[in-house]
Structure 1
Amino acid sequence: MADFLIAYDIKDNKRLAKFCKRLEKLAIRIEYSVFFMPNVTKEYVAEKIIELNKLLKDEDDVRVYKIIDEGIVIGNGEILSEILVVSG
C-alpha cells in the first residue's frame, strides 16, 4: 500500500468536468488540478487510471506519482500523512 499524487492538464472543459467528477470519487483534491490518493495499491491506481483514460484525448496530460517521502510543507498546506481517509 502506498500514497499517490495525481496531477493533470486537460484541454477541453467538458472532458475536464467529467474527469474531475470521477476522480473526486477516488481521491482527495488538494489543489485545483492535484489529487491525493492515500493507502492504495499500485494495481488499484493503475486500474482506475485505465478507466479514467477513456475520457481523455492525446492533447491531455495526466501524471501519477507514488509518494515516497512526506516532503516539506511551507505555509498553511496540509500534511498529507495526517489526512485520514478510508479508501476502497
Structure 2
Amino acid sequence: MDYLIVYDISDHKKRLKVSRLLQKFGYRIQYSAFYLPETKGNIIDFLFKEISKLIDKNTDRVFFYPVHPPEVFKGYPLEPWKIFII
C-alpha cells in the first residue's frame, strides 16, 4: 500500500530527524509531506514507533494516510476512517 505522511513538528532538530528518517523510505512531495510507495505494514509500524519516540505529542502532529497513487497526484479526497494519527 502507498502512504502519504504529513507532519507539523515545532522543534527544528526533531523535524529534521523525522524528515531524514522518511527520506529513507519515500519521496518528499512538500516541505512536510512524504509519499511512500508500495510500503509494507512492518515499515509503517517501524516508522510509527520511531517517530513517536521523537516528537512531543502535546505540540506536534504526524498523520499517516494510506492512499492510492491517483489520490496523491490528482487530489482526490481521502476517506477519514483510513487515517492514522499520532
TM-score (norm 2): 0.73
User: Aligned residue for 1:52?
Assistant: 51
Which one has the largest radius of gyration?
A: 1
Letter of the 1:34 partner, please give it. A
Q: Partners in 1 of 2:7 and 2:61 — Cα distance?
A: 6
Identity of aligned residues (%): 32
Q: CA deviation at 1:69?
A: 6.0
Give the equivalent residue in structure 1 for 2:74: 73
Deviation per residue, 1:12-68 (Å, 9 max, x gap): 111111111111112110111110000012332122221122111111100000004
Question: What is the letter of the counterpart of residue 63 of structure 1?
Answer: F
RMSD: 1.8
- 2:2 and 2:69 in contact (8 A); partners too: no
Stretches of structure 1 lacking an aligned partner (at least 5 in a row): 75-88
Structure 1 partner of 2:30: 31
Aligned residue pairs total 73
Name the SS of the counterpart of 1:23 in structure 2: helix
Do the aligned partners of residues 22 and 69 (structure 1) sit closer, same or farther apart at CA in structure 2, a change above 3 Å counting? closer
Counterpart residue type for residue 50 of structure 1: K
Looking at secondary structure, tell me which structure has more helix per residue.
2
